[in-house]
Structure 1
Amino acid sequence: MSFELPYDLSPDLYPLAWLVGTWRGPGVLAYPDIPERPIVVDVELTHDGGPYLAYTSTISLLEGALPDREQQFDPAALEAGAIWSRESGFWRPSSAGEALPVAGAPADAPSPSGLEVIVAEASGAAWLFTGSAQGPRVDIASQHVGRTATAADVVAQRRMYGWVRGEIFFSIELAAFGHELQSYATGRLTRSAPGA
């Protein structure tokens, strides 16, 4: 795993340092009653020296063809169409409780670090996630969701982010509209700018 450690990054954030930056990539969104569609995902994780990362993410419908899974892609060449969803929040390490090891982590992986993530969606939902970061992988699951009166009927989420050969692969599972927790969006991101 190769990345530049920001010089003024809080030591609390070292387990998440590989995430700092601006990321972009293709993915696929599909859920019961939502036809499968290609998407473009833009993610930014920044810091200001405090013990947290500021987070924003936009999912847009992809205009044009989805790059082959094995093919390298130019993030600037991905043409974003209509915005599907937007969210922002904060990621912060937590020492409260004991972080559970990440499933499938190698035996010599660093000890897991606890993680708390707070996310607000433009669609009217606010999420509190807890989980862990272990080596180049983050696993978080929703603990609480607050919804406005007009927000969609979403009840749970689980997310995974993993660094593989210089890219972040992600998956988002969702329980909503009376459906059990299941795959909602998957894709891969490449760094388009280093973090501040």
Structure 2
Amino acid sequence: MPIEIPTDLTPELVPLSWLIGEWEGRGRLGSGDEDSEHFVQRVSFTHNGLPYLQYRAETWLSDDAGEKLRPLTVETGFWALERKLEEGDGGPGLIPADIVPVLKTADEVEERRNKEGGFDISVSIAHPGGITELYYGQIKGPQIQLSTDMVMRGSHSKEYTAATRIFGLVDGNLLWRWDVAASGKALEAHASAFLHKVS
């Protein structure tokens, strides 16, 4: 499936544009061993004209044939190029941005490339149970690497200290892996999935 860039997409989201759409597929918890539990997942990346993508992932435990057994979790967040906010950016709260994007042209976006030839990005993801992750990383073509800068936990949340995530576009499919440091353990495989684009 070819990547289509929406005509109303703000220029600085073009590096992230291959994520836009609805994705569905299956994955395994843990390292994906034979006894690892199965899940199905639906992920969406949408935009609203502002300089970030909105992210939502809904996941269900499933049997090994992909039949849903019960809800597992939902996460939601925002993905953007990592850059210093400027006068024309919106916020905090409901303070509106200028009607003209801060980065107006492809050339201005290209100037933000890092030394590795990619773009620095930031991602915030919120989970039920009072946990929010702040990731920094980079997108380089159809590959994304993220590491947590901070994991914020509510007073009743389970222990969770760090995570990494990788995403890649392979033959039009979205593959991802998530490693987590929790319950006093170092980073270890938490989950992975293979998703196909449905819209």
Given the two structures, how large is their TM-score scaled by the length of structure 2?
Answer: 0.79
Distance (Å, rounded) in 2 between the aligned partners of 1:182 and 1:99 = 28
User: 4+ runs of 1 displaced by more than 6 Å?
Assistant: none
Q: 1:86 aligns with which of 61, 71, 74?
A: 74
Structure 1: gaps spanning 5 or more residues: 66-77, 102-110
Is 1:168 aligned to 2:189, yes or no?
Answer: no
Distance (Å, rounded) in 1 between the aligned partners of 2:56 and 2:158 = 20
Residues 25-64 of structure 1: pairs in structure 2 closer than 5 A: 25-30=25-30, 36-64=36-64
Is 1:131 aligned to 2:140, yes or no?
Answer: no
Distance (Å, rounded) in 1 between the aligned partners of 2:60 and 2:114 = 33
Look up the SS of the partner of 1:17 in the other structure.
helix
Structure 2: gaps spanning 5 or more residues: 85-111
Distance (Å, rounded) in 2 between the aligned partners of 1:5 and 1:92 = 16
Is 1:159 aligned to 2:147, yes or no?
Answer: no
Distance (Å, rounded) in 2 between the aligned partners of 1:150 and 1:179 = 19
Q: CA 1:81 to 1:100, structure 2 compared with 1: closer, same or farther past 3 Å?
A: farther
CA displacement, residues 81-111 of structure 1 (integer Å, 9 cap, x when unaligned): 312121111001113598463xxxxxxxxx2
Letter paired with 1:137? Q
State the 1:55 CA deviation.
Answer: 0.6
Q: Which has the larger radius of gyration?
A: 2
Residues 144-155 of structure 1: pairs in structure 2 closer than 5 A: 144-155=150-161
Letter paired with 1:79? E
Distance (Å, rounded) in 1 between the aligned partners of 2:28 and 2:191 = 6
- Give the match for residue 2 of structure 1: 2
Of Structure 1 and Structure 2, which has the larger fraction of its residues in strand? Answer: 1
Confirm or deny: 8 A CA contact 1:100 1:132 kept in the other structure: no
Letter paired with 2:142? P
How many residues were matched structurally?
Answer: 169
State the 1:123 CA deviation.
Answer: 2.3
Distance (Å, rounded) in 1 between the aligned partners of 2:113 and 2:17 = 21
Given the two structures, how large is their TM-score scaled by the length of structure 1?
Answer: 0.81
Residues 90-105 of structure 1: pairs in structure 2 closer than 5 A: 90-96=78-84, 99=114, 101=116
